[in-house]
Amino acid sequence: MSQYFQIHPENPQPRLIKQAAQIVGAGGIIAIPTDSAYALVCRLDDKGAVEKLRRIRGVDEKHHLTLLVRDLSEIALYAKVDNQQYRLLKATMPGPYTVILEATREVPRRLSHPSRKTIGLRVPENRISLALLEELGEPLIGTTLQLPGDDHMLSDPEEVRDRLAKQIELVIDGGAGTLEPTTVVDLTGPAPELVREGRGDPAAFGL
- The highest-level CATH class for domain 3-205 is alpha beta
pLDDT digits (tens, 9 = 90+) for 47-81: 899 999 999 999 887 787 899 999 998 988 899 99
Q: Determine the average pLDDT of the residues in 24-47.
A: 92
| pLDDT category of residue 110 using cuts at 50, 70 and 90 | low
Residue ranges per structural domain of the chain: 3-205
**Per-residue confidence (pLDDT) for residue 117, from 0 to 100:** 87
Question: How many residues are given for the chain?
Answer: 207
**Average of per-residue pLDDT values in the chain:** 91
pLDDT digits (tens, 9 = 90+) for 86-100: 999 999 999 999 999
Instruction: Give 178 or 199, the one with higher predicted confidence.
Output: 199
User: Which helix H or strand E contains 101, and what residues bound it?
Assistant: strand 97-102
DSSP-derived secondary structure letter, 74: H
Would you say 156 and 173 are in contact if contact means Cβ atoms under 8 Å apart?
A: no
**Per-residue confidence (pLDDT) for residue 90, from 0 to 100:** 93
pLDDT digits (tens, 9 = 90+) for 2-14: 899 999 999 999 9
Separation CA 119–CA 103 (nearest Å): 5
User: Which helix H or strand E contains 160, and what residues bound it?
Assistant: helix 157-164
Residue 204: pLDDT over 80: yes
**Per-residue confidence (pLDDT) for residue 112, from 0 to 100:** 64
Please give the model's pTM, rounded to 2 decimal places. Answer: 0.92
